[in-house]
Amino acid sequence: MALNKKILSLAVTSLFAFTATVGLNSQQAAMAANNPLSTVTAVEIVNGQRVQYFDLTLNVDWDYDNAMDRKRIQLGTGTNRGGTGDGARPAVVLDRTYVTNLVNQTARTLFVMTNGQHRLRNVYVFKNGKFGQNVDIRVLNVPGRANASAPGWLSDGGLTTNNYITNCNAQNQPDGECAGDENLDPENFVQTGEVIAHELGHYLYALFDEYVDPTDCNPDNPSSPCKDDVARPTAMNNQAAAYRISTTGDYPQSDFARTAHGRAYGESAWQTLVKSPAEDSDTAKEAHGNRRIRFEAFNGVPVPAIGDLKNFTDMANNRDDRLARQTGDGAEVATFAGYDTRLKVIFEGDAMQPAQPRNVLLIDRTLPAATFAEAITAAKGLADRAPSSTRFAIVTVPTQTNGNLSFTNNMEAANKQAIKAGLDALTRVNGTPDLQAAYNQARVFVTGARPTQGETENAANTDTLTLLTLNTTTVPSTLGSTARGDKIAFNVLGFKAPAAMAAAAPAPAQNLQTLATASGGSNNTVKSANEAIKEGNAALMDAMGASEALMTADLSDDPFVASEPLSTTFTVNNAVDGDVVVRWYYNTEDDSKLSFTCADGSEVTKSDLSNEERLATCTIKTDGSKTVMVQTNANAGAVEIEVVSTSQGAAVELSAMIDGGTVASGRPPVLMAKLAGSTPITSATIKVLIFNADSESETPAIPEITLNAQNDNGTNGDNRANDGIYTLNLAGRLPAGNYFVLAEATTDGNSRFSSQGVINASGNTPGTKLVGAPIQRQSEGEFTLDSGAPGVTTTARASNGGGGCTVGNGSDGGLLVLLSLAVLGLIGRGFKALRGRSAR
């Protein structure tokens, strides 16, 4: 399917209001791993040692509270993974106890890896894949080889760790599939916890592997292990045999060229941890995308000798056999003093009372008069669409007497009216917004509403600030990190400022994008109340952990006429998509004119979004090509449609973003598009359009981009082959500014779910399988390029060459269709400019 009318409708759909009864607005998959609950504390001195504590997020792709689901997962597809014969492995019961034990093992292993300087504090656990890829740790009960982005901590673009309970035995699987029960190995919590800690070595610290892989060595991909390497006795080699990471003594002849980590950095893992990323080699910076950070706990710390590392504290505390006793029963019975001092495993659904996500509407009263009116309308629309389980408050900046309202008990009808009445009473003033002062007041409301007993960090409750301001508002440079520390995320609705104000935009460290990213929220550039309503509600649903995957979207002409019904065709892969939900958005006044037809004769139901807008929806449960239709008997306003996958567990998601291109990153802009479910999807085709968000023009900033298998082969800036992350270096192609990216992925007969397992003699990867029926996904996001950043130009430059780019009369006519659509009746509904959610 070409990037054409449907991809534009995706952007326009994002401007429509959305009802809480149908969950997250799905045009933007949840992005990882910048979850607002993920954070790291400031340094504390514990027994003379510099220590930091992590709060991490974790999801599993099953329901640990549902006995039937646990049984289904435990037994697989009708086959007992535990077996009953000689040497049979015991069945693994995937309940809360299992998850708690594996978190404890992860905490113990990470404690030793960092010599006690990093420890786990709160680990938030979610069921059925809640938050999608927007977590730090994914635990997946499908065959696969654990993998992680190096690094991915607090980064955008679907960067996370994937950890598989059921592994393939490569030696016993010459056909490259995991079909036989005897070769499925359900890992116990010790094995899983150790694996997670190894992957966190990649994800948190940008450490690379120190094991031997049977693949040929590739000089273009030095950070991947290969057959000529020499294994080291470390957790980045075999986490079941050793929990520590390498120090100088593990490279006695400075033979750094014989491990992936050594080739990248020219040093041991401990030498990497303690030094500034600015001192990394060029090879290392390319391998980790210049995303590595040095954590404060390691500042000024000397590289430890092996004898200075942590030991077990059981009765047989003998240094000589310490490594041998880090396996099996030895690991389970041994402890490390201090590793679990503050450790808490916090499960979704633990609260003594139902979850009540809290949202503060933070209203900038210094907005221009017309924009202020739009902001008030938008805030009222957000209140209209809020789920009844949420709680809303109002904070004004500057403060208006009696303008601030503390949290409602819920958002039932009466409380919604009270919020809207409070918004109507607000008046604008001249001046400059003091966001720090406003945040301080909002924080008082949030902390005052948090329960005092046991639920302060409950995973089911999230706290957000929806900031309605100009997109040029200056932000205190530390406000985002302060908010993250308080577990409060900023979801920004930045109304486009007049040109004169835009020219005086704040420095990158003080802008709204930085605020949103640092706090774990989202940044949205909007031009109307309708845009703000849709984006604000979508961000709220995202913060609550609801996630869906957009398959396709469409848009009628405006006016919508009887002679041109809107017919939308798509393909359902039910095994991957689960139930597919179709949604049509339309004006309430057109209700009697419109008729809707769902595929397979499925029932269409209707509901109100607001006084002005309605939603029609149906659900499709069967495979194959499907066509749905809406038609009118008289001229009507535009009708928009979105089709979403609602599969639980590890749903297939597309995320597209630009990494780099900022002064802070110090690296050129790189387009990254990730397509993955429980495992990456390889050999897909991803088409991308990039627009200047500050321009009135709807012409793409550069020609349409096509990404394919050549962009996921581990070369030319692609960090790892076949990981489902398709990359393209955009250095020299875009000037400084704010941008909006639209992406659409499709699979074909060559596309595969890749386990990233060890390649066996037949050239296959165990656990890898063909996708089968086509999969369609779409995504959107915003990003900013800084003036003076590497690879950012001073003037625009378009090119038809390289990276699979095509435009106009090239290999795809979709762009021409897109541009022609832009001049249709969209302006009449006030949706002229393309805008989307931040790629978090």
Predicted confidence (pLDDT) per residue in 402-425, tens digit = 999 999 988 888 999 999 999 999
Higher pLDDT, 20 or 264: 264
Q: What is the pLDDT of residue 437?
A: 95
Q: What is the pLDDT of residue 430?
A: 95
Residue entry with tokens 């990649």: 202
- Is residue 31 predicted with pLDDT exceeding 50? no
Q: What is the mean pLDDT of residues 584-595?
A: 94
> If we measure between CA atoms, which residue out of 659, 460, 451 comes closest to residue 37?
460
Per DSSP, the residues of 48-73 read TEEEEEEEEEEEESS-TT-HHHHHHH
Higher pLDDT, 445 or 840: 445
327-372: pLDDT as tens digits: 445 555 566 778 999 999 988 865 445 567 899 999 999 999 999 9
Q: What is the mean pLDDT of residues 694-707?
A: 85
Query: Are 250 and 258 a contacting pair, CB within 8 Å?
Result: no
- Is residue 24 predicted with pLDDT exceeding 50? no
CATH number assigned to the domain covering 358-450+463-528: 3.40.50.410
- Is residue 479 predicted with pLDDT exceeding 90? yes
Q: Cβ–Cβ contacts within 10 Å for residue 127, how many? A: 21
Higher pLDDT, 501 or 317: 501
- pLDDT range class, residue 662, cuts 50, 70, 90: confident
Q: What is the pLDDT of residue 713?
A: 84
CA distance 828 to 44: 58
- pLDDT range class, residue 584, cuts 50, 70, 90: very high
Q: Could you tell me which residues are beta bridge partners of residue 783?
A: 739
Higher pLDDT, 97 or 738: 97
Q: What is the pLDDT of residue 335?
A: 64
For 30, 127, 363, 419, 708, the CA distances from 424, given in Å and listed in that order, are: 33, 40, 12, 9, 51
Q: What is the pLDDT of residue 400?
A: 95
- Rg of the Cα trace of the chain? 26
Report the percent of the chain where pLDDT is more than 70.
78
CA distance 174 to 188: 25
- Is residue 220 predicted with pLDDT exceeding 60? yes
Query: Are 139 and 60 a contacting pair, CB within 8 Å?
Result: yes
> If we measure between CA atoms, which residue out of 421, 373, 426, 418 comes closest to residue 395?
426
- pLDDT range class, residue 197, cuts 50, 70, 90: very high
**Would you state the torsion angle of the CA atoms of residues 607, 609, 610, 611, taken in this order, to the nearest 10 degrees?**
-40
CA distance 481 to 192: 31
**Where is average pLDDT lowest: 233-237, 404-408, 463-467, 546-550?**
546-550
Q: What is the pLDDT of residue 321?
A: 52
Specify the 3-state DSSP secondary structure of 360.
Answer: strand
CA distance 715 to 724: 14
Q: Could you tell me which residues are beta bridge partners of residue 488?
A: 463
Q: What is the pLDDT of residue 308?
A: 80
773-795: pLDDT as tens digits: 889 998 877 788 888 889 998 76
Q: What is the mean pLDDT of residues 255-274?
A: 96
Q: Which fold has domain 551-645?
A: Jelly Rolls (2.60.120)
Q: What are 313-321's contacts with CB under 8 Å, separation 24+?
A: 313/337
Mean residue pLDDT across the chain: 79
Which residues make up the CATH 3.40.50.410 domain(s) of the chain?
358-450+463-528
> If we measure between CA atoms, which residue out of 839, 840, 826 comes closest to residue 9?
826
Which residues make up the CATH 2.60.120.380 domain(s) of the chain?
551-645
For 441, 445, 578, 761, 788, the CA distances from 358, given in Å and listed in that order, are: 14, 10, 30, 55, 39
- Is residue 696 predicted with pLDDT exceeding 80? no
Q: What is the mean pLDDT of residues 570-597?
A: 92
Q: What is the pLDDT of residue 81?
A: 34
Q: What is the pLDDT of residue 396?
A: 97
Q: What is the pLDDT of residue 89?
A: 47
**Where is average pLDDT lowest: 95-99, 168-172, 287-291?**
168-172
Give the strand pairing for 49-60 and 137-140: parallel
726-764: pLDDT as tens digits: 999 999 999 988 888 889 999 998 999 887 654 444 445
Higher pLDDT, 492 or 22: 492
Q: What is the pLDDT of residue 319?
A: 46
- Is residue 806 predicted with pLDDT exceeding 70? no
- Is residue 77 predicted with pLDDT exceeding 90? no
> If we measure between CA atoms, which residue out of 35, 156, 134 comes closest to residue 659?
156
**Where is average pLDDT lowest: 170-184, 568-582, 605-619?**
170-184
Q: What is the mean pLDDT of residues 235-240?
A: 88
Q: Cβ–Cβ contacts within 10 Å for residue 788, how many? A: 10
Specify the 3-state DSSP secondary structure of 233.
Answer: coil
CA distance 451 to 460: 13
Q: In Å, how far from its chain's centre is CA 783?
A: 15
Cα diameter, the chain: 85
Per mean pLDDT, which of 165-174, 200-209, 657-666 is the most reliable?
Answer: 200-209
Q: What is the pLDDT of residue 389?
A: 83
Q: What is the pLDDT of residue 239?
A: 87
Higher pLDDT, 827 or 608: 608
383-408: pLDDT as tens digits: 988 888 889 999 999 999 999 999 99
Query: Are 206 and 273 a contacting pair, CB within 8 Å?
Result: no
Higher pLDDT, 196 or 649: 196
